[in-house]
Amino acid sequence: MTPVRVLICEDSAVYAAGLQRALEYDRDIAVLGVCPTAEEALATLASERPDLVTMDLELPGMDGLAAVEEIMSSRPVPVVVLSSHVGPDGEKAAAALGAGAVDAWAKSDLDLADPAGVTAAAFRVRIRALARVPVIRHPRARLRLARTAPGPGGRRVSVIGICASTGGPQVLYHVLSSLPPNYAIPLLLVQHMGPGFTEGLVRWLDRNVGIEVTMAEDRLPLAAGAWVAPEGAHLCLGGDGRLVLDRESPSGPHRPSADALLTSIAAHAGQAAAAVVLTGMGRDGAAGAAAVRRAGGLVIAQDEASSAVFGMPKAAIEQGAGLVLPPPGIAGTLAHLGHLPLPGAARGLTAAGGPGPGPRRAGRP
């Protein structure tokens, strides 16, 4: 088997040496070189053809975010971001994912002192898988192609569940930024992320799209805006029209789970439910999409050509997705849906419990 060829961009010689040892431990990953600056990494990409690049975000000179943008616009290759900043400080990692990086890992989660350990082994498994992910040049430009005509007009829905994994942040950015700021239909989002990065993604999206993007909280009434499942909890729709965070039910391979979200939407919104399954590995969302279809709701899957990984959308298509569209077509279809308030739900309430929709949160651009 041909080894996976990896280029490391990391300015700490000690960290880079540990990372190289961890990557090469099983002898089926070969590190082509270590570049202490983004400029050197870009020059190396001009002469070498690595299967994947690991990118530190804090670098002397050009930072890692600018490097990801340059790589994806000139010499597309899967990029895995390694960051010391997680939680509220993780916006730069989210921006890198939005620019086309395929994954982000917190440096603190990698035990490089034990290359035979569980975390290092899991990291190698992920690197092998991501090295085969197709990436596209100018990802945002590609996503902004002329919109596909929307589906049948006149449909009204109460809630839209959107789920994504690998490659999802850039598609979420495109879809959310294409919707008007006063979009009335609540959006419930599950994005599979590495530990520590969901909060940064929420902050980054909230600053860069018109719709208000908020981390979901338990028992909040369903309201306009985009509500993102936090780490370690299934986001579900309750029968009373409130959000439910479930940290107790079996998680399966994912917590939060797209299946848990979409199944709850199907149960409580029925024909007024809509599900959108975006790029990602595996089959999470397939069972939920089938539940929405059986309930008479709308199921949309991202098409193969625009997906970084076609696993999740393909599984949803196999379950009978009604529409298969690129991101511009998804955004156009969502924009043409009408809003049908959920029967029995608390109405006219914002996340804070007051009348809505109202002014933007204080301090939000």
Q: Which residues are catalytic?
A: 165, 192, 284
Dist. CA 162–CA 302, nearest whole Å = 11
Dist. CA 144–CA 99, nearest whole Å = 13
164: number of Cβ within 10 Å: 30
Length of the chain: 365
Alpha carbon 195 to its chain's center: 13
Number of Cα atoms under 13 Å in the Cβ half of residue 21: 14
Secondary structure in 3-state letters for the chain? CCCEEEEEECCCHHHHHHHHHHHCCCCCEEEEEEECCHHHHHHHHHHCCCCEEEEECCCCCCCHHHHHHHHHHHCCCCEEEEECCCHHHCHHHHHHHHCCCCEEEEHHHCCCCCCCCHHHHHHHHHHHHHCCCCCCCCHHHHHCCCCCCCCCCCCEECEEEEEECCCHHHHHHHHHHCCCCCCCCCEEEEECCCCCCHHHHHHHHHHHCCCCEEECCCCCECCCCEEECCCCCEEEECCCCEEEEECCCCCCCCCCCHHHHHHHHHHHHHHHEEEEECCCCCCCCHHHHHHHHHCCCEEEEECCCCCCCCHHHHHHHHCCCCEEECHHHHHHHHHCCEECCCCCCCCCECCCCCECCCCCCCCCC
Task: For residue 223, give both structure tokens.
Answer: 């309201």
Alpha carbon 209 to its chain's center: 15
